[in-house]
Each structure stands twice: as structure tokens, then as C-alpha cells.
């Protein structure tokens, strides 16, 4: 009698399988439903094994390996699950490196599986042989090379455990071709721990009490929160804590959407192009409470002038981040969902109304000098800010916004409104142009019932524009909002402000994006007139299927506020 798939996956029995089939069976056991990848010679046995598991695992053929890994990132960031991608050896594997580095600095859980030449050819410069383990070591949380079929299950089990435990990150498993062909008795056991690896530090209760004492005594507290809140699924615990203690809270780009945009205690975005109030008042607070963030240089500005007057409390899961950039007075190591839950009963109820009003007062200054002109201009060229304001009108803060990198990224982060967590997906630490389009594809596949809007510039769009082919083949519904200023806008802004407007190699001569979209079977429209903007965005969002809306915006508009390089965050410029 023919065995059913369910019987084949019974963990209480062993089955003789090839290494390549073992790879697929391991993925099934880990609950993987989607893989992003690109086949090639050294990974071909795994692709052959996938042929028999099409009902269990869906493979998405991207048009480039970089597209595959960015799509896996988007999937992981929207769904909260591990993203998985496949690539062959040599150039296939090296094409993953940018995405791996991006995932490492942005703490995105990925499992990357690459094929490798036969083990007897390792080190011989064989065709399409590259030391991907050596290349990827600095940008992975863990990696390994498997040369024997029977070692595949343990390697993949460990990969999934390491990728998603503690502070998440990318892992890479490189499997030689002979290991893929080899046969062994298959058994799979999920990894629960790794010797010498501490995923979650034990929370020190004394440190919690010290933190609570500082917070309770504060007259001008400020919370700065990052993606750690989202990764720990601690949104509710975080909100409860700040509401009880009345703590004004500002977010990093990666922390965007962890707290609803319209929450009374949400005082805006930190950083180089963040909001005026939280940047200025960072250097006036008396207690700075960092939650799940790493004090990136774009947030702190000049460290010699950063919050020197404040006591610093840092809630963080990764010991390496403590005192790395900013010295702390109290460090609470641990998963912030747990640490915030334990902190809550130690906090006194408070509101800090007068201090909070300082944020509102400075918010009004930014509103009058920057925000109104950017989001509601009465004349002149279209602005990116008014486009995002119209998007908010039609999404009501319920869409997932995926951005590329540049001026449009800063504008989208500043003005997009969110009511739900995991709604802003962007390349934060590495700043990878070309991230948006494939990441939006992955985000939609991770959360198919959510509206996904890819906000991209004309520069970044053309770095991975071939992924329109992935949309064409899969019919995934992604709304692409192309903000076209015919420049590499952020570089041009710096040339404008700091290089005497010497626009060297930043002006773009672009193709007809409408014709390109038509070639991929994607509906599209280009607009230049303000009076057409609202209806065009409405049409894009309501359209059944993918859609490209190209909006021609001002060529030389700059993003403000801005903290110039080397300056204090309180030196933020409004013009």
C-alpha cells in the first residue's frame, strides 16, 4: 500500500532518503510554507526533491538571488516567521550576501540554504566554487558547511533555532553536492538549545528595581524604542508600561508601528530626519529609557553631545549592545516582553503632563515650518509628503508599507500612519537600495490578507526592477507607488547642502516605466497634477491585482528636519 505524506513525516519512524530530500523534509517539519530561490547546478538535487513536495512547500522563483533574499526578509518581517531562501553555489551564493548583511544588522530571522560543489573539489577553484561560509561569516548569526548527508537534519534544525531565538538573525547552511546525493535513515528532531549559546539572558530582578526607581523619580523621562519591541511581540506590554507611567515615547525607524501613530504618548521619530521634538528634547530629558534599540549613529548624532544630562536605562536582549555606543546607568538584560511585564508592577502611576506638553509645543513648531508645507502644499510641484498623506486617507493606517532607501524612505517613515504592528518594512541599518520591490512581494506572501504598498524611488526601483517578473508569474498583488524625482534624491540633497550643489552622477535619465509595467502585465498610471492625485491613489488601492502608480514629484525638494553629520541631535535643522 502506498504511504501517505502524513505517514512519511511520522517522527517515530525512520525512512531512507537522499540528502536533497532530507533538506525538503526538514523544511516541512519546521512548518515552512514558502521558499524564495533561484536554481542552479550545485543546488539542483534539492530542486528535484522539491518537485515531489509542491503541495507542502511553495517555491517562488525570483529573477535574481538578491530578490530571493529580500523577499524572504519581507516575508519574515510581515509574518514574524523565519524567511527561507535557496541558491546555488558561486555567484548564486554570493548574490545573497547583501541581503544577509541587511538581515544581520536589522535582526531578521532567515535560513539561507546554498548548494556547494562536491566535497572532494573544495578548495580547488572548481567551477562555481566560492567559500561562501568564509564570505558570509561576518554577516551571519551562524553558518556551517555540510559534507555528509546524515548531518543535514541536525544542521537545519540548529539553523532554525538560532535564526529565530534570542536576537534573531540570518543563518546559512552550505551543502555539498555529494551530501545532497548521499542516502541515510532520516530522523528529525527540532533543536531546543545549543551548548554555550544563551538565547535569553536571565533577568536580574535587582536591575529591574533600579530601573523602576529611576523611572519613578524622573521628572522628564523619555522612552526611545526600537524593533526589539516588535521582535519580542511585546507591543501590548510596552503600551501598558508607558501608559501607566505616562512616558513620552519616540521610535527608531525599525521601531515604527510598534505603537500606534496616533497614540497620545507617541511623540514621533528619532534620528537624522526624525521629528523635531524628540530630537531636541533628548538633550533635555533626565532619564532616557531605551527599549529594544541599539543607539545607532543615525539616532544619536554626535555621541559626545548625546543625552549627557540623562540617566540611561537600557532594556536589551543582546549583551553586546550594552555600553557599545552609549554608557548606561542601569542595563536590564532579557527578552523585553518578559522584562516589561516584570517592570509594570514596580512603576508608579504618573502622567508628566507638563513635560509632555513640551513635545506638543515643539511638534507645533515643526508642523508650521515643515509638515504643513510638505503634506499640504497649495501650489508648486507635487511633494512626497502630500502623496503619503493621501495614502493615509485611503489605508486608514491598516496597510503594510514597504520602502526602499532614500528621500522617499524618510518621507514614508515620517508621514505614514499605522494602527497595527509590523506595518513598516524598510532597510534600516544597511540602507540597501533595491530592497523594496522584492521585500514587498515577500511581505504580501507572508500576510496575504493585508494591503501591501511598496513606496520606492526611481533609483532603487531600477536596482531590482526585474522582480516585476516575479509579480507577473505569481500574480501576487502588490501596489507599487513610484515617487519619481529623476534624481538619486538623498545623495543630491547632500550635494545641495554640503557640496555647493555640484550634482555629480545623481541625475537619472529614466525609461518609460509605464511601458515596462505593461510588458509585465501590470496596470499602471503616471500623474503629474495635484488635482489627479487623490483619485489616482484610490484607483491604485482599489484595483484588483498589482498596480504601478508613478507620481512625478519635485526634482530638488529636500527632506527636513535634518541633523547634519557630526552635529548633536538638538542641532536639528528645520530648513
How many of the other CB atoms lie within 10 Å of CB of 303?
Answer: 14
Q: Distances from the Cα of 250 to the Cαs of 185, 279, 386, 422, in angstroms?
A: 53, 9, 23, 17
In the set 490, 495, 540, 562, the catalytic residue is 490
In the set 177, 220, 311, 479, the catalytic residue is 177
Residue 128 bears catalytic tag: yes
In the set 9, 128, 210, 555, the catalytic residue is 128
Joined grid coordinates for residue 550: 508613478
- Please give the helix or strand (H or E) that residue 392 lies within, else none: helix 384-395
Residue 65 bears catalytic tag: yes
| Nearest-angstrom CA–CA distance, 196 and 201 | 12
Contact in structure between 164 and 103 (CB atoms under 8 Å): no
Contact in structure between 258 and 333 (CB atoms under 8 Å): no
How many of the other CB atoms lie within 10 Å of CB of 264?
Answer: 12
In the set 127, 181, 498, 499, the catalytic residue is 127
| Nearest-angstrom CA–CA distance, 53 and 38 | 17
| Nearest-angstrom CA–CA distance, 232 and 167 | 9
In the set 65, 316, 321, 386, the catalytic residue is 65
Q: Distances from the Cα of 131 to the Cαs of 43, 128, 135, 176, 178, in angstroms?
A: 15, 10, 6, 12, 17
Select from 99, 80, 86 the least CA-distant residue to 447: 80
Select from 23, 15, 7, 89 the least CA-distant residue to 59: 23
Contact in structure between 560 and 573 (CB atoms under 8 Å): yes
Please confirm whether the linkage preceding 561 is cis (ω < 30° from 0). yes
| Nearest-angstrom CA–CA distance, 319 and 23 | 33
Joined grid coordinates for residue 259: 505603537
User: Where in the sequence numbering do the catalytic residues fall?
Assistant: 65, 127-128, 177, 490
Amino acid at each position: 500500500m502506498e504511504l501517505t505524506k502524513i505517514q512519511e513525516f511520522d517522527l517515530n519512524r525512520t525512512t531512507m532518503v537522499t540528502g536533497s530530500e532530507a533538506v525538503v523534509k526538514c523544511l516541512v517539519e519546521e512548518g515552512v510554507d514558502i521558499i524564495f530561490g533561484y536554481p542552479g547546478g550545485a543546488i539542483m538535487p534539492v530542486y528535484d526533491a522539491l518537485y515531489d513536495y509542491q503541495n507542502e512547500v511553495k517555491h517562488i522563483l525570483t529573477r535574481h538571488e538578491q530578490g530571493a533574499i529580500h523577499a524572504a526578509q519581507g516575508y519574515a518581517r510581515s509574518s514574524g516567521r523565519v524567511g527561507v531562501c535557496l541558491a546555488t553555489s558561486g555567484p548564486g551564493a554570493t548574490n545573497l550576501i547583501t541581503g544577509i548583511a541587511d538581515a544581520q544588522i536589522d535582526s531578521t530571522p532567515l535560513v539561507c540554504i546554498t548548494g556547494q560543489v562536491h566535497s572532494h573539489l573544495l578548495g580547488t577553484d572548481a567551477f562555481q566554487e566560492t567559500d561562501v561560509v568564509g564570505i558570509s561569516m561576518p554577516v551571519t548569526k551562524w553558518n556551517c558547511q555540510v559534507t555528509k548527508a546524515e548531518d543535514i537534519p541536525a544542521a537545519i534544525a540548529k539553523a532554525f533555532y538560532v535564526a529565530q531565538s534570542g536576537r534573531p538573525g540570518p543563518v546559512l547552511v552550505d551543502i555539498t553536492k555529494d551530501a545532497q546525493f548521499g542516502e541515510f535513515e532520516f530522523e528529525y528532531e527540532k533543536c531546543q538549545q545549543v551548548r554555550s549559546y544563551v538565547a535569553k539572558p536571565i533577568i536580574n530582578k535587582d536591575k529591574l528595581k533600579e530601573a523602576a526607581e529611576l523611572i519613578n523619580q524622573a521628572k522628564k523621562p523619555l522612552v526611545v524604542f526600537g524593533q526589539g519591541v516588535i521582535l519580542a511581540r511585546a507591543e501590548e506590554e510596552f503600551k501598558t508600561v508607558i501608559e501607566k507611567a505616562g512616558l513620552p515615547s519616540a521610535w527608531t525607524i525599525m521601531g515604527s508601528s510598534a505603537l500606534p501613530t496616533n497614540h497620545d504618548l507617541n511623540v514621533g521619530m528619532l534620528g537624522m530626519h526624525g521629528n523635531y521634538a524628540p530630537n531636541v528634547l533628548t538633550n533635555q530629558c533626565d532619564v532616557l529609557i531605551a527599549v529594544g534599540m541599539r543607539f545607532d549613529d543615525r539616532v544619536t548624532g554626535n555621541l559626545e553631545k548625546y543625552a549627557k544630562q540623562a540617566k540611561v536605562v537600557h532594556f536589551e536582549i543582546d549583551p553586546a549592545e550594552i555600553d557599545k555606543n552609549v554608557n548606561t546607568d542601569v542595563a536590564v538584560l532579557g527578552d523585553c516582553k518578559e522584562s516589561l511585564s516584570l517592570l509594570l508592577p514596580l512603576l508608579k502611576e504618573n502622567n508628566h503632563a507638563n513635560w509632555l506638553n513640551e513635545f506638543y509645543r515643539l511638534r507645533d513648531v515643526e508642523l508650521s515650518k515643515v509638515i504643513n508645507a510638505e503634506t499640504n502644499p497649495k501650489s508648486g510641484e507635487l511633494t512626497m509628503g502630500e502623496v503619503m498623506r493621501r495614502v493615509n486617507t485611503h489605508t486608514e493606517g491598516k496597510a503594510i508599507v514597504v520602502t526602499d532607501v532614500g528621500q522617499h524612505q524618510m518621507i514614508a517613515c515620517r508621514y505614514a500612519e499605522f494602527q497595527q504592528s509590523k506595518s513598516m518594512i524598510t532597510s534600516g541599518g544597511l540602507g540597501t537600495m533595491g530592497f523594496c520591490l522584492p521585500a514587498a512581494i515577500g511581505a504580501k506572501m507572508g500576510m496575504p490578507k493585508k494591503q501591501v504598498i511598496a513606496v520606492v524611488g526611481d533609483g532603487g526601483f531600477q536596482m531590482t526592477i526585474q522582480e516585476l517578473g516575479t509579480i507577473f508569474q505569481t500574480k501576487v498583488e502588490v501596489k507599487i507607488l513610484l515617487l519619481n524625482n529623476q534624481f538619486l534624491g538623498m545623495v543630491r540633497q547632500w550635494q545641495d547642502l554640503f557640496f555647493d550643489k555640484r550634482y555629480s552622477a545623481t541625475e537619472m535619465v529614466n525609461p518609460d516605466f509605464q511601458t515596462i509595467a505593461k510588458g509585465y502585465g501590470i496596470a499602471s498610471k503616471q500623474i503629474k497634477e495635484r488635482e489627479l492625485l487623490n483619485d489616482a491613489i484610490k484607483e491604485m488601492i482599489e484595483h484588483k491585482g498589482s498596480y504601478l502608480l508613478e507620481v512625478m514629484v519635485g526634482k530638488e525638494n529636500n527632506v527636513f528636519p535634518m541633523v547634519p553629520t557630526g552635529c548633536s541631535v538638538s542641532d536639528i535643522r528645520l530648513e
